[in-house]
Chain A
Amino acid sequence: QSALTQPPSASGSPGQSVTLSCTGTSSDVANYDSVSWYQLRPGKAPKLILYEVNKRPSGVPDRFSGSKSGNTASLTVSGLQAEDESDYYCSSYGANNKVLFGGGTKLTVL
């Protein structure tokens, strides 16, 4: 069982928007603005796509956005493209200098 809870799957059609959720607790997601999102494709290194809830590293399209409310963080992908099909993992800094990951959401572009 992962420390953070993510739905196992999500889907959307090209051009649509989809929102992925990540639920933690008052000791991690709710207590810190240190939520990150990673894209993971088979055989490839994980890629950071959002950090500090809603900041995008250089090169990440602005179709990716993030937010947080209480102990739930969200990643929204707008204008879905086929290349967005991937596994997405959230992460949060937690109490006692721990780093927590979610179980991942498999995003399918229909």
Chain B
Amino acid sequence: QIHLEESGGGVVRPGRSQRLSCAASGSEFRRSVMHWVRQAPGKGLEWVAAISYDGGHKYYGDPVKGRFTISRDNSKNTLFLQMNSLTVDDTAVYYCGRGLKDMSGPIDRWGQGTMVIFS
């Protein structure tokens, strides 16, 4: 089974950038759609972005489109989220997740999350 572990969270300042990583175990990563989902304090889950298994297709939620970039390195089993022009509204726990089947499939494996907070 695929195991996911996020890193890269921390304290940031508005307007700055941050890059999150998600390290995956196992060979399933390179065959899987991958997602980023976030949860702001006291709020619900919000889908952030997704990427096809080969990185050829990327999809974004409206609040982050044009500011965030999802990418992956299948040779290193790692998913990334480059976050630019950060605002206080981006404060959240960020989860990476593995999509089952295709883009319309559920997220069946999740990491524990990494927190991004503003100073």
Contact = CB atoms under 8 A, between A and B. Distances in A.
Interface residues of B, number: 25
A45 B113 contact: yes
Contacts, number: 65
Given A51-B105, A97-B59, A45 B45 contact: no
Given A36-B107, A91-B106, A93-B104, A46 B45 contact: yes
B114 to A, nearest CB: 12
A46 B45 CA distance: 10
Given A45-B110, A45-B113, A46-B95, A104 B45 contact: yes
B44 A101 contact: yes
A47 B45 CA distance: 12
A101 B95 CA distance: 14
A89 to B, nearest CB: 5
Interface residues of A, number: 25
A7 to B, nearest CB: 12
Interface of B: 35, 37, 39, 43-47, 50, 57, 59, 61, 95, 97, 100, 103-108, 110-113
Interface of A: 2, 32, 34, 36, 38, 40, 44-48, 51-52, 57, 89, 91, 93, 97-104
Given A98-B47, A104-B44, 14 more contacts: A2-B44, A40-B39, A40-B45, A44-B112, A46-B107, A47-B110, A91-B106, A97-B59, A99-B47, A99-B103, A101-B44, A101-B45, A101-B47, A103-B44
